[in-house]
Amino acid sequence: MKWSLNELTKKKQIEFIEKLKLQEVLATRSTEVLDSTAVETQGEVSYDDGLFYLNYHLKTVLTLPSSRSLKPVDYPLDVVVSEIFTTQDHLAQNPELLENDLIIVLEKELIDLDESVVDNILLEIPLQILAENEENEALPAGKFWSVLTEEDYQRQQEEKKVEKKSPFSGLDGLFD
């Protein structure tokens, strides 16, 4: 769904409820998105004093690969989005706007809901996602290697510091 800036300046406010099918766009923009349900959006776009406000609530379920096993995991998203847009001309007349808020400068004479929704969904993808049974499983390990959690790594570093306090720790690295 797109709105022209002329339409918004005339109507001042437009409310919307849309179901967007963005699976192909999401998969193209991010290889992590294996699948997604239709994105339910509800909100409004409005105009006031040279600024365009886009406020909406989005709900969807993404299918992402598990960080550990690459098995598909459903990840529900429920996000509230508020964005402020302006034109380059209005920004040139009011440069102080950039200091106060995060304002998106429009390149075209329209606001595209689909683009905003896709951007905000991609920003919400977590760095680590695990399947239900993987959270309690032992981490993979080999003969001379193992995967550590961050807590285990910190504990290991503390143990190394304690070991270095031995009387011979000053000789470490002498023959390297």
Q: Which residues pair with 11 in a beta bridge?
A: none
| Nearest partner of 30 among 104, 126, 107, 102, judged by Cα | 126
Q: How confident is the model at residue 120 (pLDDT cuts 50, 70, 90)?
A: very high
pLDDT tens digit string along 71-98? 899 999 999 999 988 887 877 777 777 7
Q: Residue 104: is its pLDDT beyond 90?
A: no
For the chain, give the mean pLDDT: 84
pLDDT tens digit string along 23-46? 999 999 998 999 999 999 999 999
Choose between 149 and 53: higher pLDDT: 53
- Name the strand (E) or helix (H) holding 11: helix 5-11
Q: What is the pLDDT of residue 163?
A: 63
Tell me the C-alpha distance between 18 and 62, whole Å. Answer: 18
pLDDT tens digit string along 53-76? 999 999 999 999 988 788 899 999
Q: How far is CA 157 from the centre of its chain?
A: 31
| Nearest partner of 33 among 153, 147, 126, judged by Cα | 126
Task: Note the pTM of the prediction, 2 decimals.
Answer: 0.74
| Nearest partner of 39 among 23, 55, 15, judged by Cα | 23
Choose between 126 and 134: higher pLDDT: 126
Q: How confident is the model at residue 176 (pLDDT cuts 50, 70, 90)?
A: low
